[in-house]
Chains A and B, each alone.
Chain A
Amino acid sequence: MLTVVIIALIKVAVVLVVLLLMIAYLTWLERKLLAHFQVRLGPMRVGPHGLLQPIADGLKLLFKEDVTPSGVNKVIYTLAPILSFVPAFMVFAVIPFGDKIFLFGRSIDLVISDFNMGILYIFAVASLGVYGIVLAGWSSNNKYSLLGGLRSSAQMVSYEVSLGLSVIGVLMLSESLSLVDIVRSQDTIFNWYIFRQPLGFIIFLICAIAETNRLPFDLPEADNELVAGYYTEYSSMKFAMFYLGEYANMINASAIATTLFLGGWQGPWLPPVVWFFLKLFTFLFLFIWLRATLPRFRYDQLMRFGWGILLPLALLNIFITGIVMVW
C-alpha cells in the first residue's frame, strides 16, 4: 500500500516538473518559431539562442508588482487565476506517456492513473477550466475583461459540444473509455485513429484549438478589440498563472490528440516515451504554425462555424462510424 502511494507521488512530481519545464520552453519555442516564420531571429541575448529567456521571463514575472485595480471583487479576482491554472494541470493525470517500464524489480505503468473513464475525466476537468476565464472577466471591473470573459464562455461551451462528439467515433471503435486501452488498440500504424477516423480527427483538432483559445480562435483575447481580454487587469504572478494555464492547455490538447489519434506512445525503434514526445511536439508545432499563418475569426463566423458546420459534421461522423461498425 505504502509503496503504491509513494510510486504515485513520484509520478505526480515528475509529471508536474516536466510539464512546467515544457511550458517554459514552449514559450521559447513559440517565440523562436514565430520569429523565423517572420524572418526574424527572436530572443538571442539571454544564453545561446535565447535558451535562458524563459527563466529570465519567469523571474521578471515573479518580482513584478502585483496590482489590484480598485472596485474589483477581491476574493474572486484572486481565485480566478487559480481556477484556470489548476484544471489545466489535472488533465495529465490520465494520459499514458509510455509503456510499462521495469525499475527496481517492479513494473511501473507510465501513467499516473489508469482510470476506466479517462476520457470523460478529461472532459469533466477541462469543462471546469472555463470558470477561471469567466470569473476573471467578471471580477476585474473592466468592460474589456467582461467582454472577453463572456466571449470565452460562449466560445468554450459551444466548441466543447463538438469536441466531445468528435471523440465518440474513437470510443466506439476502441470500445473503451480508458486512455490506456485506446492506445493499446492502435497497435499498428493502420489502426491509428487518424486513418480510421479522419473526419473525427479534423473536428477534434479544430475544436481543441478553439478550446485552448489559440489563433485563429483567440477571440477572448483579441488584442486589437479587447486590449487583452479577460486578463487585461492582471499583473505579476496572477498574470503568469493564466499564461501557465493556457500553455498547459495547449500541451494537454496535443497530448490528448496524440493519445486518441496518433497511437499514443506506440512506434517502432525508438523508446515509447520518445515517440510520445515526438508526436506531442508535432502538434505543438502545428499550433504555433497556425498562429503564424491564419487571421482571427470574426465572432459571428466563429459561432456559425461551431454550431452550423462542426456540430452536424461530428454527428455525421458518429452516424457513419456506427454504420461501418454494424456492417
Chain B
Amino acid sequence: MQFFIFLIVSIILVVASILVIVQRNPVVSALFLIAALCAQAILYLLLNATFLAVIQIIVYAGAIMVLFLFVIMLLNLRKDEFGFEKRKAQRFFGILFAILLLVELGVVIKIGLSKIPSTEFSLDPDFGGVQSIGKALFTDYLLPFELTSVLLLVAMVGAIVLAKKKL
C-alpha cells in the first residue's frame, strides 16, 4: 500500500518537475512547481515527517509560490521579452553544472546506500512531530537555526534596500 502511494507520488513529482522547466508559459510553470511541492509533502508524510509535510505546504506551496505567481502576473511577460536567445557560454556552463550535479548525486546515493540498516528499525513515536522537532531546533541545532534566521533577515533587508532607493 505504502509502496504504491510512493510510486504514484514519485511519478507525479518527477513529471511535474520536468514540466516546470519545459513549459514556456511562466504561470503554468509555477503551477507545476506547486504540484511538485505538494507531491513532495506527501513523500514527507510517507516518511512519518508530518510536521515537515504540513510546513512544506504552508510555507512553500501556500506562501512563497503565491508571491511567485504575484510577481509573474505583475510583470506579465510576453514571449518575445523573455530573451530565449541561446548564448554559447550559457550552454557550456549549463552542461558543466549538469555533469557536476549528476556526479554529486551519484556520490550521495552511493554513500547513502551503504548507510541503510539491513534490518527493520523502530521509530520513536513522536518522530517528526512538533515536540521532537521543536526540541531539536532549540537545543542541538540552536546555532544553525538562529544563523539561518539572521541570513533570511539579511536577505530581506538587502531586497528592500535594492528595491527602494530612497527609504
Contact = CB atoms under 8 A, between A and B. Distances in A.
A76 B27 contact: yes
B50 A117 contact: yes
Interface stretch (B62-70, B82-90, B110-118): B62-70
A123 B55 CA distance: 9
Contacts of A177: 130
23 contacts: A73-B27, A123-B62, A124-B57, A124-B58, A124-B61, A124-B62, A126-B62, A127-B57, A127-B58, A127-B62, A127-B66, A128-B62, A130-B62, A134-B73, A135-B27, A135-B69, A138-B69, A138-B73, A153-B66, A157-B63, A157-B67, A157-B70, A177-B130
Contacts of A286: none
A254 B66 CA distance: 25
A150 B74 contact: yes
Interface in A269-318: none
Interface in B114-140: 129-130
A211 interface: no
A73 B26 CA distance: 13
B51 A131 contact: no
A150 B130 CA distance: 34
Interface residues of B, number: 22
A90 to B, nearest CB: 12
Given A124-B54, A127-B63, A130-B62, A76 B70 contact: no
Contacts, number: 68
Secondary structure at the B interface, as helix, strand, loop or mixed, is helix
Contacts of A96: none
Contacts of A120: 51, 54-55, 58
A125 B62 CA distance: 8
Given A121-B54, A150-B70, A153-B69, A127 B28 contact: no
A130 B66 contact: yes
Contacts of A56: none
A123 B59 CA distance: 10
Interface residues of A, number: 27
Contacts of B12: none
A138 B58 contact: no
Given A73-B25, A138-B69, 5 more contacts: A76-B31, A124-B61, A128-B61, A134-B70, A137-B73
B34 interface: yes
Contacts of A150: 70, 73-74
A130 B31 CA distance: 13
B133 to A, nearest CB: 11
A124 B74 CA distance: 25
Contacts of B31: 76, 135
A255 interface: no
Interface of B: 25, 27-28, 31, 34, 50-51, 54-55, 57-58, 61-63, 66-67, 69-70, 73-74, 129-130
A156 B55 CA distance: 18
A76 B70 CA distance: 16
A188 to B, nearest CB: 26
A127 B57 CA distance: 8
Interface of A: 73, 76, 116-117, 120-121, 123-128, 130-131, 134-135, 137-138, 146, 149-150, 153-154, 156-157, 160, 177
Contacts of A137: 73
A157 B50 contact: no
Contacts of B25: 73
B100 to A, nearest CB: 35
A53 B46 CA distance: 46
Contacts of B66: 127, 130-131, 134, 153, 156-157
B59 to A, nearest CB: 9
Contacts of B70: 134, 150, 153-154, 157
Contacts of A116: 50, 129
A149 B57 contact: no
B43 to A, nearest CB: 15
Nearest to B70: A153
B63 A160 contact: yes
Contacts of B62: 123-124, 126-128, 130, 160
Contacts of B67: 157
A298 to B, nearest CB: 20
A76 B73 contact: no
* Candidate in A76, A131, A135, A146 with the most chain B CB atoms within 10 angstroms: A131
A317 to B, nearest CB: 20
